[in-house]
Amino acid sequence: MHRSLRLAVAVVWCTPLAAQTPKATAPQQVLIKAGRLIDGRSDAPQSGVGILVEGDRIKAVGPLAQLQGQAKTARVVDLSSLTLLPGFIDVHTHLLLQGDPTAQSYNEQLLYQSTPYRAILAARNARVALEHGFTAIRDLETEGAMYADVDVKRAVSRGEVPGPRIFASTRAMAPTGMYPIVSDNWELELPHGVQPVDGADNARLAVREQVAHGADWIKYYSDRRYYFGPAPDSVLHSWVNFTDDEARAIVDEAHRLGRHVAAHAIGSDGIAAALRAGVNTIEHGDGMTDSLAGVLAARGVYWVPTVTVSRYVAGPRGGPWEAMAEHQRRAFARALKQGVKIVLGTDVGGFPWTEINQAKEFEYYVQYGMSPMQAIKSGTSLAAELLGQPDIGVVAAGMYADLVAVAADPLKDITELERVRFVMKGGVVYVSP
């Protein structure tokens, strides 16, 4: 069994299983024996379960004995000593970035690396994500690499390179002078990490351009320059980038074109401005207050805390960043109690893809107050809900066959999710025990 599985990996690496099957014959069926199943939706795991995969979809999930009778010719994948879960979803990534703890590390990538070189690294990063069990990601802007995320997405979806399902947001937006690279040398026009946008009409134009070039999501930077108010205030403030008119134009135009909007919003002022504009997701949100969390909960706006990057950059950046991370930890527990939908996003790319496994974010969420099952849902079914993708995030009949498996019990030790032993995406096996 193991040998045939490895052979399958080698042969189908670049070709979806369905594409290999001649049309005249029935699609290849695979019966996965799961020791235990955490399906991403139920509150408790199940045991003695089989998952029948046909082509790129799950055909049935049920008692193993029953499925064995139903699918006698299916190839069997024996994961009876493992715990099976839905493929993980990270809703905040940067495929085109290799870590930017300091301004210097950011500027070096934009100044001294060509977009083709950065795209090659992005393809490598896509493979890293998949091998860590992430079968879908929302990539939240290319940091100056224009529309290269759409090219990486295209190459992955055509089976040219391995990677997760990618939801791309292309260039992101900030007003002139409010996002790196900024320099004292006014004689040189340096590369911009975003599309500079000024005025409501230009905001609409930028949304239309980005959607025309393949943006699935629109992202803008709501704030910058973070600082704590004087004691006893202790509120994390920020400078708001766009006027309310500009921000509303971005959101309205995106919604008109069927796209949702993510706002980078770290300080309370930036979060409040993004909520006034009507965004769908708040990114980072270190300065979340109880009243702002109440608005998120009431309106069903998602919060993507990206704790891994907060903890990674706190040291190198110094200043208020450590206190910001601590503020976020306290806000997280309270927002959770208020019923805010907190979805797993790491900001990988802000830290190097090759240094830290994205799945560390699960561990932080448990440290911050989620149960292990809540954390798993945050990075599977709830993330699929944020993406508006009803066919992923849950192990159930009709869904895409995006599956991972781990050896020990992740409900007892959440860090087990950082050690996946099996990864399948769309019926194709990429990692096998």
Residues 6+ apart with CB under 8 A from 262: 92, 138, 140, 169, 217, 218, 219, 220, 279, 280, 281, 283, 304
Closer residue to Zn ion, CB minimum distance, 138 or 259: 138
- Nearest approach, Cβ of 129 to Zn ion (angstroms)? 15
Closer residue to Zn ion, CB minimum distance, 347 or 418: 347
- Nearest approach, Cβ of 194 to Zn ion (angstroms)? 11
Please name which of 211, 284, 215, 274 lies closest in space to residue 248, comparing C-alpha atoms: 274
Closer residue to Zn ion, CB minimum distance, 94 or 377: 94
Closer residue to Zn ion, CB minimum distance, 156 or 172: 172
SS3 content of the chain, % helix, strand, coil (to 5): 35, 25, 40
To the nearest 10°, the Cα dihedral for 44, 411, 418, 91? 50
- Nearest approach, Cβ of 277 to Zn ion (angstroms)? 18
- Nearest approach, Cβ of 92 to Zn ion (angstroms)? 6
* CA–CA separation, 139 and 90 (whole Å): 9
Q: Which residues bind Zn ion (CB under 5 A)?
A: 347
- Nearest approach, Cβ of 182 to Zn ion (angstroms)? 18
Closer residue to Zn ion, CB minimum distance, 347 or 402: 347
Closer residue to Zn ion, CB minimum distance, 246 or 347: 347
- Nearest approach, Cβ of 230 to Zn ion (angstroms)? 29
Q: Which two tokens stand for residue 396?
A: 């159930």
- Token pair 């699935």 is at which residue? 216
* CA–CA separation, 314 and 297 (whole Å): 28
The answer to whether residues 172 and 140 touch, using CB atoms and an 8 Å cutoff, is yes
Please name which of 146, 120, 39 lies closest in space to residue 84, comparing C-alpha atoms: 39
